[in-house]
Structure 1
Amino acid sequence: MGDGNCGFRCLADFFLGDQDKYVEARKIIANEVGANRWKYQHIHHGGVDEAMRRIKWPGGHCTSDHYMEVMEDLFPIAQFWNCAVILLGVQGGSLYPCMTILPWDAECNVTQPSREIFILHLIEYNYFIRLDLSPGCPIPPLADLWFMVREPSVIGWEQIFQHRIAEWQRLETLV
């Protein structure tokens, strides 16, 4: 639906089973950011309070000041749901920016993300679409910021995706 909530509708559809639960998805992400202010202050350039104000929305049509932000919101999504967030950005007919974001921390005995969500971002329209791609498909490299904010509990997780990232990079050279 063209109501400005498309990014959070992707989350609600994938994690909550119903895109109409986007308000709940917004609350989950805002709570994750608020509960871990010390970590997200390095990611949310406008500040944690501004991010929470932007993310929180009671529902219905919203303006661009409440849209999902690519880099800022992908980290709390990955962290809360222990998932790999694979972003495929499209701008001017080219794939850019594309990145993979992993959780920055893990609970004891968690050795990898439990699932993957693929999100297509049509940059010209600032529109997000959830994609269903084949398991094990090539994925873009990890976001550089992940390496700067990760905790010791997830060091080495990049190795899990090394083959798929290498395949992505190989395919990029063919284009």
Structure 2
Amino acid sequence: MSALSQEEAKIISDLSQSHVPPKKILANLRQNGLGLDAYSKQIYNEKAKLKRLSRGDRTVMKHLIGLLEEHNYYKWFRTDETTHAVTDLMWAHPQSVELLSKFPYVLLLDSTYKTNQYKLPLLEIVGVTPVGKIFTVAVAFLRHENEDHYTWVLQKLKRLFPPQTLPSAIVTDRELGLIKALENVFPTVPHLLCLWHINMNDWMDVRMDVYNCIKTHEEFFKDYFGGGNLVYRVLVSVAYWDNAPSPYEKWMTITDVGVVVATYYNALVLSASSLGNQTYLPLWAPEGVSQLSYEMTILFLESGSHFVYVKMNDNCPLPPFDRQWARYSNNSVAYLPEALRSRREMWDILNSV
């Protein structure tokens, strides 16, 4: 493997500054009759060398913070009191903040894992325009995924909004530390679970969640369903992991899984059919959560074994609650009957006409 010539090294440098990936750099060299003996590894090594040279004697973290300052990013970081090492770092591009001021309505928060050499979670905060286009608001590296670190990020995020402005909704996954932090920093903003995590078209994931919820609380659900045999029947019916339509004997029954779906996703589940209508509420809530995370309506057919997800208007009337809810629910969801009272009354009024 021969060394790169000065001309080849300069081309690599110029293209790297334009963020051209190594594969295309190598193709460009060969297209111009250069780098005929070069390999991708040499391109990567040269790019790493250029990064080290541009960084000088600064650490990677100091270099990153310097680049953020150089390009006028909004940035925040905090350090460990003992080691003085950076524990959390968050930044936002000025144009992203401008977009947020115009479209502050919905935010999506999600973390990626093990995608960087430091194995730190990267939290991405995304906004949505009225035409469904998404844009990155800010990103943050966090030392730990817990309430303290998420609270720090959300407090900085709040500063990016124009005065007297808050989002209309924040969408996340079921990360409990993040949910707790949202309760503290954005207490008046509705919190929803992401459709990626409650994708009603992806029944394989729903089946797995229902199965794991029942298995984790098996003794509780034995009492709820009225015996171990009934719990076993429900587990057998949901234990189908192929990402394809399930056979008839594996069809889930809404009267069995409705309360489990509601509890696992901290959701209100409205079940409607010609056979009867019912509202399923969570039997307990995630620790520190004092509001529903999601609301879904399920229209079921075929004697309750085949059902589809439909969208209803906000604050629609609610049919009677599951009869066993009052007996089996705990104090974490005791607020629900009063919070939903007007919607229940609306249902009764409509049915009395």
Question: Per the shorter chain, which TM-score range?
Answer: 0.7 to 0.9
Q: Quote the residue 2:233 is aligned against.
A: 50
Q: Is the 8 A contact 2:285 2:333 kept in 1?
A: yes
8 A contact 2:238–2:250 mirrored in 1 = yes
Identity across the alignment (%):
19
Q: Which position in structure 2 is the counterpart of 1:3?
A: none
Question: Match of 2:281, as an amino acid?
Answer: L
CA distance in 2, matches of 1:67, 1:124: 11
Higher relative contact order (CA 8 A, sep 6+): 1
Deviation at 1:43, TM superposition (A): 3.2
TM-score w.r.t. length of structure 2: 0.41
1:125 and 1:50 map into 2 onto residues whose CA distance is 16
Deviates further, 141-150 or 41-50: 41-50
1:64-95 Cα offsets, whole Å, 9 max, x none, are: 321111221011101110000110122xxxxx
Q: Secondary structure at the match of 1:68?
A: coil
Residues 126-141 of structure 1 mapped to structure 2, 5 A cutoff: 126-141=305-320
Letter in 2 for 1:80: Y
Aligned-pair distance for 1:168? 0.6
The answer to whether residue 214 in structure 2 is matched with residue 33 in structure 1 is yes
- Give the AA of the match of 2:219: W
- How has the CA–CA distance of structure 1 residues 163 and 123 changed in structure 2, closer, same or farther, with 3 Å as cutoff? farther
Q: Cα–Cα, structure 1 residues 47 and 18, in superposed 2: closer, same or farther, change >3 Å?
A: closer
* Structure 1 Cα separation of the partners of residues 236 and 316 of structure 2: 36
Per-residue CA shift, 1:137-170, capped at 9, x if unaligned?
Answer: 1111211111111112222311111100100111
Question: Rg bigger for which structure?
Answer: 2
Q: Residue 24 of structure 1 is aligned with which of 190, 205, 211?
A: 205
The equivalent residue for 1:5 is none
Number of positions where the alignment pairs a residue of Structure 1 with one of Structure 2: 156
Q: Does the 8 A contact of 1:104 with 1:151 survive in 2?
A: yes
Unpaired stretches in structure 1, ≥5 consecutive residues: 1-12, 91-95
Describe the SS at the equivalent of 2:290: coil
Q: Which runs of 5+ in 2 are unaligned?
A: 1-194
Alpha-carbon distance, 1:18 to partner: 6.6
Match of 2:262 in 1: 78
